[in-house]
């Protein structure tokens, strides 16, 4: 298992390694077959110059490599959002605020990571720039046929899992950080949306869009969240036994494949043996909220408003599956859109009341292991049906948290020789610090059980 950001920056700051040495390892990984299609663009020489600056060692990110999802503005470059429809877009005049914050914290930007076109897929495939294959960040290359990386932050996850970056900057509208983190055996944190600025990013659904990062560990997630949100996570030394945890019944545990179900149950058993108190909590409201997405929901309506003119001019250049999802928003009435917003707010109030006695909820991040790329390759009607079935399954658990305006962390809970499985810890908005601290204790308990 590769060192995480926190361990590596300590080595750099103690003089036992250097940002330049670590960057060369990342460049080797970025050029390996494991990272095929993980980047749409790399800039190794400018990265070498950044990592060689002696002052970066003293900064929080210590000159270590970070990949940037092709959704965010970088000064002097066009932002293509995984599409060819924006090929002649003008260069950005300044960095997105989150990119600027990463630079100021000492990040070395290594490249733009591949993504599902316009961030509109939980599967992570991209017919324009290629699709990176899932890679297990804990135990190495996955055996057998290539598997989907999850999306939409597909390249961000693979760049971190395969060792090309310590951090992958990404976004999460319905699970786009947590899904690829789960399928690649690493960590993805979706904060309460309002904590991190979304300016300078191509929008999908401004109501739901969240900016965050994929990392190799939970402690890295804490560090990077502090950089992106420009805030300190309040320290809480309480042990795992002191937190009030619950497993939501109904929706989150439905249609689990056998492997995910077995790993999830084993994980709960391991945590209980480590002292965790885990109750069951009935949340029938979570099944009802799925109906808010009927007809495409907020993502379709809000993305269509942004894409309408571009679709008229260059709709033929879109991935047909992405275009069909966006165009569902063309048929939504303004009254229906307002009804969804109001119903969502009522549901958030209900859920906040239901979750008041709990510090964090535990569920599988996604209900299935990563399907093979070949199983979703067909472009006929049957192939489209299978793609959208898988996409809906991958997004089901994670999207509830976005609709809740909540926060969530996905961390790996599988063992060597198993397909990657993510454990999701989540809660309503502004419970970020509790979710992160529970994540730290869970990560420690799972590591102790392995040793």
pLDDT by residue (tens digit) across 160-214? 999 999 999 999 999 999 999 999 999 999 999 999 999 999 999 999 999 999 9
Phi, psi of 412 (to 5 degrees): -75, 145
Sign of CA dihedral 299, 72, 60, 445: positive
- 69 catalytic per annotation: yes
- Coil, helix or strand at residue 226: helix
**Domain coordinates in residue numbering, the chain:** 5-285+360-450
- For 43-51, what is the mean pLDDT? 98
Confidence of residue 46 (pLDDT cuts 50, 70, 90): very high
For range 246-250, the mean pLDDT: 92
* CB crowding 329-345: b at 16 or more within 10 Å, else e: beebeeeebeebeeebe
Q: What confidence score (pLDDT) does residue 286 get? A: 78
Residues 314-362: pLDDT tens digits? 999 999 999 999 999 999 999 999 999 999 999 999 999 999 999 999 9
Residues of the chain with pLDDT > 90: what percent? 95
Mean pLDDT of 360-379: 97
Buried b (16+ CB within 10 A) or exposed e, 350-381: ebbebbeebbbbbbbbbbbbbbebeebeeeee
The per-residue pLDDT for 407 is 98
Q: Is the pLDDT of residue 294 over 80?
A: no
Tens-place pLDDT, residues 374-427: 999 999 999 999 999 999 999 999 999 999 999 999 999 999 999 999 999 999
Position 295 pLDDT exceeds 80: no
Residue 5 in tokens: 């950001």
Look up residue 256 and give its two tokens: 């689990």
Give CA–CA dist 439/408, Å, rounded: 10
Helix axes 381-403, 334-354, angle to 10 degrees: 50
What confidence score (pLDDT) does residue 66 get? Answer: 99
* Mean pLDDT computed over 302-317: 97
Give the mean pLDDT of 100-115.
98
Confidence of residue 296 (pLDDT cuts 50, 70, 90): confident
Give alpha helix (H) positions in 328-431.
334-354, 381-403
Contacts of 418 (CB under 8 A, 6+ apart): 259, 263
pLDDT for residue 284 is more than 90:
no
Residue 349: the pLDDT is 94
Task: Choose between 292 and 115: higher pLDDT.
Answer: 115
d(CA 373, CA 362): 29
Q: How far apart are the first and last CA of the chain?
A: 14
Catalytic residue among 17, 29, 67, 69: 69
Query: Locate tokens 């900016």: which residue?
Result: 211
Indicate the average pLDDT of the chain: 96
At residue 30 the predicted structure's pLDDT band, cuts being 50, 70 and 90, is very high
> For this structure, is 152 an active site residue?
yes
Q: Under a CB-based contact definition with an 8 Å cutoff, are residues 435 and 355 in contact?
A: no
Q: What is the pLDDT of residue 314?
A: 97
pLDDT value for 185: 98
Strand order in the sheet with 167-171: 39-42, 108-113, 65-69, 167-171, 211-215, 187-190, 407-412, 422-427, 360-364, 244-248, 277-281
Fold annotation for 5-285+360-450: Amidase signature (AS) enzymes (3.90.1300)
Q: What pLDDT, on the 0 to 100 scale, is given for residue 253? A: 95
Six-digit token pair at 27? 């460049």
Please say whether the beta carbons of 149 and 134 come within 8 A.
yes
Per-residue confidence at 111, pLDDT binned at 50, 70, 90? very high
Whether the bond into 152 is cis, omega within 30 of 0: yes
Which residue do the tokens 């009030």 mark?
244
- The model scores a pTM over 0.85: yes
Cβ-based neighbour number of residue 309 at 10 Å = 9
Confidence band for 450, pLDDT divided at 50, 70 and 90: confident
Structure tokens at 14: 């103690």
Rounded-to-integer distance, Cα 171 and Cα 127, Å: 20
H-helix or E-strand containing 111? strand 108-113
CB 363 within 8 A of CB 424: yes
Q: Known catalytic residue: 176?
A: yes
Residue 285 has pLDDT above 80, yes or no: no
Looking at 176, 205, 217, 363, which residue is catalytic? 176
Whole-angstrom distance, CA of residue 152 vs CA of residue 63:
26
Cα 254 to Cα 143, 260, 289, 367: the distances in Å are 27, 11, 15, 8
The catalytic position among 17, 67, 152, 217 is 152
């Amino acid at each position: 298992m590769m060192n995480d950001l926190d361990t590596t920056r300590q080595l750099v700051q103690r003089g036992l390694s250097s940002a330049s040495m670590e960057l060369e390892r990342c460049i080797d990984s970025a050029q390996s077959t494991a990272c095929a299609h993980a980047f749409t663009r790399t800039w190794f020489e400018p990265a070498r110059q950044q990592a060689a600056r002696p002052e970066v060692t003293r900064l929080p990110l210590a000159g270590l490599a970070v990949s940037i999802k092709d959704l965010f503005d970088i000064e002097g470059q066009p932002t293509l959002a995984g599409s060819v429809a924006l090929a002649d877009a003008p260069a950005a005049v300044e960095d997105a605020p989150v990119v600027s914050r990463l630079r100021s914290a000492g990040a070395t930007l290594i490249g733009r990571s591949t993504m599902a076109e316009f961030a509109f897929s939980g599967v992570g495939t991209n017919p324009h720039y290629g699709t990176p294959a899932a890679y297990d960040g804990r135990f190495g290359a996955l055996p057998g046929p290539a598997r989907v990386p999850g999306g939409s932050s597909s390249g961000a996850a693979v760049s971190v899992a395969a060792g090309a970056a310590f951090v992958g900057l990404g976004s999460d509208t319905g699970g786009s950080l947590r899904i690829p983190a789960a399928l690649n055996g690493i960590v993805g944190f979706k904060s309460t949306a309002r904590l991190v600025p979304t300016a300078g990013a191509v929008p999908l659904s401004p109501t739901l869009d969240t900016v965050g990062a994929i990392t190799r560990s939970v402690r890295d997630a804490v560090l990077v969240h502090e950089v992106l949100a420009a805030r300190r996570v309040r320290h809480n030394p309480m042990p795992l036994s002191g937190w009030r945890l619950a497993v939501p019944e109904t929706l989150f545990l439905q249609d689990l494949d056998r492997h995910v179900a077995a790993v999830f149950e084993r994980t709960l058993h391991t945590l209980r043996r480590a002292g965790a108190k885990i109750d069951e909590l009935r949340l029938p409201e979570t099944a009802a909220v799925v109906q808010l997405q009927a007809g495409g929901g907020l993502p379709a309506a809000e993305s269509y408003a942004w894409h309408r003119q571009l679709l008229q001019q260059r709709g033929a250049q879109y991935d047909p599956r992405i275009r069909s999802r966006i165009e569902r928003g063309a048929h939504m009435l303004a009254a229906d859109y307002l009804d969804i917003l109001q119903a969502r707010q009522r549901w958030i109030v209900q859920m906040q009341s239901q979750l008041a006695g709990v510090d964090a909820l535990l569920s599988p991040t996604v209900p299935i292991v990563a399907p093979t790329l070949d199983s979703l390759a067909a472009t006929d009607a049957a192939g489209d049906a299978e793609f959208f079935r898988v996409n809906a399954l991958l997004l089901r658990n994670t999207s509830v948290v976005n609709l809740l305006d909540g926060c969530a962390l996905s961390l790996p809970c599988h063992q060597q020789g198993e397909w990657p499985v993510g454990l999701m810890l989540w809660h309503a908005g502004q419970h970020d610090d509790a979710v992160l601290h529970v994540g730290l204790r869970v990560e420690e308990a799972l590591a102790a059980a392995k040793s």
